[in-house]
């Protein structure tokens, strides 16, 4: 039987504020347990929450960037459930009047653009963190409330995805938008960006959706994709046996690469949402909305298009550049200084990215600056150094942050373009390699390449390669 896979994603992103949603405690990651808490985020009796304006505006900004409709009225609701990571026994979230609704995200798979609808975008508070000791027989769990109350954005898609490549593109595009709008740092390894998938299968051509299974505990984009593949096969087997897929929540086990049932529909949570009386509603007027819209920068897909049209880059190159906002910014800075888009694109997407990967550099704190890369491209064009030597200079620049001219002087890398000097070396190489010269005269073209290589070796790569070629060819022909 052929089935169609129907996939929707829920995304949680911690907002990049300095303080929590309802109190002035720090949101910094990786601090000792319970050092960033106060009576408000510990849920002590009698405290009152006051909303962080920046958190609200970040959420609004994301909702606008995701093309959501923004209602003039929005408020917050209590979502009740009892779990030790939730000090108040309810989470302040939104249910009846979400901040944003009916938006969309355009994704691109193999050059084909596809629109994934967004059901809603809303703001809520994070729960604390539970630690389960690994020691055998431990009968306790540990709770750290540093994360409790950190502003959290939830983005719920419609079940509009059919294949894993669409899911991957959705996650990547969404991550890029959150980074471009600077509302979240999206560090998956620190949990500031998390995904939950819901998957159902239906017979091809059937309109009715099958029973949906939700998968939690997906710690990376890779595990999202693996879990979807696993779940697709599991549900297909169930349906092929003539059984029905139960509506349930499953937990992904990253080590064993399979999922296990967490709770069935019957055991599903009853959250008893009701309006949070401790918080006042928020009214969003035209003026405020316009001000928020003005803070949204050019988004990734639009920027990619502009790079292709404005700088004559290929779609592939443009995609590589816009992938990280900081790199696209770096590129644009360079082009502003010197109009050589293709050259800068090559340096950034090849050499820079390779050095970053090999030396495990942080692209957010690069030592090399756009004006230095521009200066490097300039001295290559002037012929001060060859493009081979330039790679060595670049490597030094990215490690030390030195100007290209400084590196060239310190390492004595100036290109040799003195005809007399090159001729002298050529004469030496020719007399040292009579066999190669004979081979060339007999018609072996690659013998010349060998001789050029010898000259370059003599000059430690500094001889002007074009001149070496021309002069050498002239000499051996004689």
Partner 1 sequence: MMIDKDEVEYIANLSRISLNEREKDMFVHQLNDILSYIEKLNTLDTKNVKPMAYILKVSNVFREDKLETSIPIQDVLINAPSTKSGFFKVPKVIE
Site residues for partner 1 per CB under 8 A: 17-19, 23-26, 32-39, 42, 50-56, 75, 80, 82-84, 130-132, 138-145, 251, 262, 270, 272, 275, 277, 280-283
**Tokens at 89, concatenated:** 């026994």
Q: Can you spell out the DSSP letters for 264-296?
A: ESTT------EE-TTS--EE--HHHHHHHHHT-
Nearer to partner 1, 250 or 402 (CB): 250
* Least distance from partner 1 to the Cβ atom of residue 80, Å: 8
Q: Are strands 129-131 and 151-157 parallel, antiparallel or unpaired?
A: unpaired
Nearer to partner 1, 263 or 359 (CB): 263
**Tokens at 85, concatenated:** 């990571």
Which uninterrupted H or E stretch holds 164? helix 164-180
> Looking at residue 97, what DSSP letter applies?
S
Nearer to partner 1, 16 or 65 (CB): 16
Nearer to partner 1, 44 or 421 (CB): 44
Strand partners, 157: 118
Nearer to partner 1, 58 or 311 (CB): 58
* Least distance from partner 1 to the Cβ atom of residue 267, Å: 10
* Least distance from partner 1 to the Cβ atom of residue 214, Å: 13
* Least distance from partner 1 to the Cβ atom of residue 258, Å: 16
* Least distance from partner 1 to the Cβ atom of residue 212, Å: 19
> Looking at residue 309, what DSSP letter applies?
H
* Least distance from partner 1 to the Cβ atom of residue 24, Å: 3
**Residue 94 and residue 77 in contact, taking contact as beta carbons nearer than 8 Å:** yes
Q: Give dist(CA 121, CA 100) in Å, integer.
A: 5
* Least distance from partner 1 to the Cβ atom of residue 141, Å: 5
* Least distance from partner 1 to the Cβ atom of residue 55, Å: 7
**Residue 313 and residue 307 in contact, taking contact as beta carbons nearer than 8 Å:** yes
* Least distance from partner 1 to the Cβ atom of residue 21, Å: 10
Strand partners, 26: 19
Cα torsion 358, 349, 335, 372 to 10°: value is 20
Nearer to partner 1, 141 or 400 (CB): 141
**Residue 36 and residue 26 in contact, taking contact as beta carbons nearer than 8 Å:** yes
Nearer to partner 1, 151 or 300 (CB): 151
Question: Which contacts (CB < 8 Å, 24+ apart) does range 425-431 have?
Answer: 425/455, 425/458, 425/459, 425/463, 426/455, 426/468, 426/471, 426/472, 426/475, 427/475, 428/458, 429/454, 429/455, 429/458, 430/475, 430/476
Q: Give dist(CA 192, CA 418) in Å, integer.
A: 58
* Least distance from partner 1 to the Cβ atom of residue 299, Å: 24
* Least distance from partner 1 to the Cβ atom of residue 294, Å: 19
Nearer to partner 1, 13 or 451 (CB): 13
Q: Which residues of 353-368 are buried (b: 16+ CB within 10 A; e: fewer)?
A: bebbeeeebeeeebeb
Nearer to partner 1, 249 or 384 (CB): 249
**Tokens at 457, concatenated:** 């070796």
Residue 384's nearest CA partner among 425, 361, 412 is 412
Residue 150's nearest CA partner among 188, 178, 124, 186 is 124
**Tokens at 5, concatenated:** 């896979």
> Looking at residue 364, what DSSP letter applies?
G
Nearer to partner 1, 99 or 334 (CB): 99
Other beta carbons less than 10 A from residue 407's beta carbon:
21
Nearer to partner 1, 151 or 210 (CB): 151
Q: Give dist(CA 176, CA 322) in Å, integer.
A: 9
Total residues found in the chain within this entry: 478
């Amino acid at each position: 039987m052929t089935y169609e896979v129907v996939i929707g994603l829920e995304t949680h992103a911690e907002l990049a504020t300095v303080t929590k949603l309802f109190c002035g405690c720090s949101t910094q990651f990786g601090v000792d347990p319970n050092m960033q808490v106060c009576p408000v985020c510990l849920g002590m009796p009698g405290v009152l929450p006051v909303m962080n304006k920046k958190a609200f505006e970040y959420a609004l900004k994301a909702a606008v960037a995701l093309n959501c409709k923004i209602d003039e009225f929005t408020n917050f609701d209590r979502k009740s459930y009892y779990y030790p990571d939730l000090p108040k026994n309810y989470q302040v979230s939104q249910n009846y009047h979400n901040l944003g609704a009916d938006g969309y995200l355009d994704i691109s798979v193999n050059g084909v653009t596809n629109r994934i609808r967004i059901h809603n975008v809303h703001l809520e508070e994070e729960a604390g963190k539970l630690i389960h000791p690994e020691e055998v027989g431990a009968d306790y769990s540990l709770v750290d409330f540093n994360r409790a109350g950190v502003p959290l954005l939830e983005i719920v898609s419609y079940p509009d995805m059919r294949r894993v490549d669409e899911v991957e593109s959705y996650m990547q595009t969404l991550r890029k938008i959150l980074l471009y709008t600077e509302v979240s740092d999206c560090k998956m390894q620190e949990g500031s960006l998390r995904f939950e998938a819901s998957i159902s299968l239906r017979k091809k051509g059937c309109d009715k959706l099958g029973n949906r299974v939700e998968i939690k505990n997906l710690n990376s984009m890779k595990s999202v994709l693996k879990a979807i593949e696993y779940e697709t096969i599991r549900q297909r087997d169930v349906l092929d046996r003539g059984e029905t897929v139960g509506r349930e929540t499953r937990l992904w086990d990253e080590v064993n690469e399979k999922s296990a049932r967490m709770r069935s529909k019957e055991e599903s949570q009853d959250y008893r949402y009701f309006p949070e009386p401790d918080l006042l509603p928020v009214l969003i007027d035209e003026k405020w909305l316009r001000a928020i819209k003005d803070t949204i920068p050019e988004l990734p897909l639009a920027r990619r298009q502009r790079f292709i049209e404005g700088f004559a880059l290929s779609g592939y190159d443009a995609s590589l550049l816009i992938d990280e906002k900081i790199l696209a910014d770096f590129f644009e800075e360079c082009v502003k200084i010197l109009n050589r888009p293709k050259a800068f694109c090559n340096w950034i997407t090849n050499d820079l990215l390779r050095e970053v990967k090999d030396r495990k550099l942080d692209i957010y704190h690069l030592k090399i600056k756009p004006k230095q890369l521009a200066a490097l491209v300039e001295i290559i064009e002037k012929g001060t150094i060859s493009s081979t030597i330039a790679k060595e200079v670049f490597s030094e620049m990215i490690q030390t942050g030195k100007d290209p001219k400084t590196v060239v002087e310190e390492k004595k890398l100036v290109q040799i373009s003195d005809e007399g000097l090159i001729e002298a070396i050529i004469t030496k190489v020719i007399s040292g390699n009579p066999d190669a010269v004979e081979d060339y005269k007999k018609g072996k073209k690659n013998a010349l390449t060998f001789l050029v290589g010898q000259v370059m070796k003599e000059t430690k790569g500094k001889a002007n390669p074009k001149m070496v070629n021309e002069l050498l060819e002239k000499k051996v022909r004689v």
